[in-house]
């Protein structure tokens, strides 16, 4: 884990729910360092650690992701990430929220204020993004992102948490980032112990999960994760076929080794992280293959 206290401070970074700074390394690469939010009482927060773990999982799934590591600055721990505009040599990036709001206007706002149930809202939201002019160029990455979020238990993929990158006349999907609100990031050790003792407790987390599918800005995710899997299986069979290949080829041994050697986290949390991903891979594969 690096100490970046002496790196050059550039700015406090873009607006975010987490404290963030932009830094310049001694070899003149731009980085973003993001700190986990401070919580009151006995509540825990492993958002920075899970950002790094999430990046490793994405890498093992052959998905584009930020380069992330744990670092310290002025004695404070955070997640250090190479600035992905530099990583991908892009001219600029724009979050999904800005792009969709500008293109669809009131229709986009209508989704944010909708009181439809989970599956109806899912249909309306996908109907919107599928009409965005470059959706077909980034369709696989968008679908993969949503399955990835269900795998890691990420409930905070709002439309500011993914970007399209632009380079000259080219447009492409940015790397996965802001994956930290996942993997039981706020569950204390006592709760983890109870979960790993009974497989049905882990399964309950999966069945109850709700998400924002990269389109909903609400604080609380409104769409059932299993509705998302069912919809994507029905409407994006080619993309789901490749997603399944990546899930079935996931190197669980490499992931487990990564978790076993990861600093900072307890033996109980390591056990939970390994079982969490093992079970979810199996469940998602089963749910995506079910009925076809």
| Structure confidence by residue, pLDDT tens digits, 32-87 | 999 987 765 566 789 999 999 999 999 999 999 999 999 999 999 999 999 999 88
Which of the four pLDDT bands, split at 50, 70 and 90, describes residue 165?
Answer: very high
Angle at 201 between CA 185 and CA 151, to 5 degrees: 50
101-108 average pLDDT score: 97
Strand partners, 210: 224
Equal fold, 2-86 vs 89-289: no
Q: What is the DSSP string of the chain?
A: -EE-TTSEEEE--S--SS-EEEEE-TT--EEEEEPPPP-STT----HHHHHHHHHHHHHHTT--B--EEEEEETTEEEEEEE-HHHHTT-SEEEEHHHHHHHHHTHHHHHHHT----HHHHHHHHHHHHTTSTTHHHHHHHHHHHHHHHHHHT-----TTS-EEEEETTEEEEPPB----S-TTTT--HHHHHHHHH-HHHHHHHHHH-EE-TTT---SS--EEHHHHHHHHHHH-HHHHHHHHHHHHT--HHHHHHHHHT-SSS-HHHHHHHHHHHHHHHHHHHHHHHTT-
Residue 186: the pLDDT is 87
Contact 64, 176 (CB under 8 A): yes
Residue 16: the pLDDT is 60
Please identify, in words, the CATH class of the domain defined by 2-86. Answer: alpha beta
Confidence (pTM): 0.95
> Over pLDDT 90: what percentage of the chain?
88
**pLDDT tens profile 177-224:** 999 999 998 899 999 999 999 889 999 999 999 999 999 999 899 999
Contacts with 248 (C-beta within 8 Å, 6 or more apart), sequence order: 285
- In the chain, the N- to C-terminal Cα span, in Å, equals 46
Domain boundaries along the sequence of the chain? 2-86, 89-289
The pLDDT mean for the chain works out to 94
Q: How many CB atoms lie within 10 A of CB 106?
A: 7
Checking if the pLDDT of 12 tops 90, the result is no
Residue 50: the pLDDT is 95
Closest C-alpha to 225, from 162, 148, 282? 148
Residue 144: the pLDDT is 98
CA 26 – CA 150 distance, rounded (Å)? 38
Please identify, in words, the CATH class of the domain defined by 89-289. Answer: mainly alpha
């Amino acid at each position: 884990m690096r100490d970046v206290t002496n790196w050059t401070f550039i700015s406090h970074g873009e607006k975010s729910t987490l404290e963030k700074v932009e830094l310049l390394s001694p070899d003149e690469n731009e980085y973003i360092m993001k700190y986990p939010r401070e919580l009151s009482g006995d509540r825990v927060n492993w958002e920075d650690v899970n950002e790094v773990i999430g990046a490793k999982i994405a890498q093992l799934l052959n998905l584009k992701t930020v380069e992330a590591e744990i670092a310290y600055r002025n004695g404070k721990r955070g997640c250090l990430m190479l600035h992905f505009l530099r990583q991908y040599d892009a001219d600029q990036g724009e979050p999904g929220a800005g792009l969709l709001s500008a293109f669809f206007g009131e229709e986009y706002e209508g989704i944010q204020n909708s009181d439809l149930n989970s599956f109806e809202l899912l249909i309306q939201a996908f109907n919107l993004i599928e009409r965005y002019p470059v959706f077909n160029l980034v369709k696989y990455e968008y679908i993969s992102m949503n399955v990835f979020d269900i795998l890691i238990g990420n409930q905070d993929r709002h439309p500011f948490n993914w970007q399209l990158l632009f380079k000259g006349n080219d447009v492409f999907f940015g790397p996965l980032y802001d994956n930290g609100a996942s993997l039981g990031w706020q569950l204390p050790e006592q709760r983890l112990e109870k979960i790993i003792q009974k497989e049905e407790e882990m399964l309950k987390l999966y069945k109850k999960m709700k998400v924002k599918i990269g389109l909903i800005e609400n604080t609380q995710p409104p769409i059932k994760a299993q509705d998302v899997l069912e919809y994507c299986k029905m409407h994006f069979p080619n993309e789901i076929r490749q997603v399944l290949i990546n899930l079935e080829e996931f190197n669980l041994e490499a992931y487990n080794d990564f978790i076993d050697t990861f600093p900072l986290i307890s033996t109980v949390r390591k056990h939970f992280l390994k079982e969490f991903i093992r079970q979810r891979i199996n469940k998602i594969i089963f749910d995506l293959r079910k009925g076809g």
